[in-house]
């Protein structure tokens, strides 16, 4: 169970990532388009902690109000997951100073542990595309993805995701903070 701060793309960027999900799904791969939860949408997890610190929600809402929108370039595909376990396929993001500053402040607000993959200097910003892929399926998936490296994606929203309660809290609506 965890609490995660996630950045949400604008409509055009959302469509771009969903098109990649659809291409992978059409190829018979375990794309995130198959996950039918209403909360499932393209996002970048900025930080995640087991327990949400007191007062974090309004501080994160204020951070997003000051930091968004942020635009970053899509990098090359990225394969996550060690060993023979099923892998996750994602699009890497080429972080700029504004995204790195947003991440560093969010990690501070949330109290991200230094050994966490979300700690400053360890975080790998990405947009997940497919999960539970075998090595052979990763090769197939790489052949399906559009060559859109360098395309800018724009993040205009943010939410807190509570994986235990399976609830999201919009941090960028006017009523937050």
Q: What is the reported pLDDT for 176?
A: 45
pLDDT digits (tens, 9 = 90+) for 152-163: 999 999 999 999
Q: What is the reported pLDDT for 177?
A: 45
Does the residue 144 lie in any domain? yes
Mean pLDDT across the chain, nearest whole number?
91
Does the residue 133 lie in any domain? yes
Q: Which residues pair with residue 44 across a beta bridge?
A: 7
Q: What is the reported pLDDT for 174?
A: 59
Q: Which domain holds residue 113?
A: 3-170
Q: What is the reported pLDDT for 38?
A: 62
Q: What is the reported pLDDT for 147?
A: 85
Does the residue 83 lie in any domain? yes
CATH number at residue 132: 3.90.1140.10
Domain count, the chain: 1
What is the reported pTM? Answer: 0.92
Does the residue 177 lie in any domain? no
Whether residue 156 contacts residue 8, with contact meaning beta carbons closer than 8 Å, is answered with yes
Does the residue 7 lie in any domain? yes
pLDDT digits (tens, 9 = 90+) for 76-99: 999 998 666 688 999 999 999 999
Euclidean distance between CA atoms 113 and 157, whole angstroms: 25
Closest CA to 52 of 157, 165, 125, 160: 160
Euclidean distance between CA atoms 66 and 77, whole angstroms: 30
Does the residue 37 lie in any domain? yes
Instruction: Tell me which residues of the chain have a pLDDT lower than 50.
Output: 176-177
Q: What is the reported pLDDT for 33?
A: 72
């Amino acid at each position: 169970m965890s609490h995660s701060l996630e950045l949400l793309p604008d409509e055009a960027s959302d469509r771009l990532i969903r098109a990649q999900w659809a291409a992978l799904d059409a190829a018979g791969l375990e794309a995130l388009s198959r996950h039918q939860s209403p909360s499932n949408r393209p996002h970048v997890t900025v930080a995640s902690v087991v327990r949400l610190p007191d007062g974090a929600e309004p501080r994160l809402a204020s951070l997003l109000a000051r930091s968004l929108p942020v635009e970053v370039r899509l990098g090359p595909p990225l394969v996550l997951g060690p060993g023979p376990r099923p892998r996750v396929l994602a699009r890497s993001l080429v972080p700029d100073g504004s995204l790195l500053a947003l991440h560093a402040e969010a990690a501070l607000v949330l109290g991200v542990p230094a050994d966490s993959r979300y700690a400053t200097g360890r975080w790998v910003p990405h947009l997940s595309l497919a999960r539970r892929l075998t090595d052979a399926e990763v090769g197939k998936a790489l052949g399906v993805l559009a060559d859109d490296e360098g395309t800018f994606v724009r993040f205009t929203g943010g939410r807190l995701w509570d994986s235990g309660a399976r609830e999201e809290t919009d941090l960028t609506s006017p009523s937050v903070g």
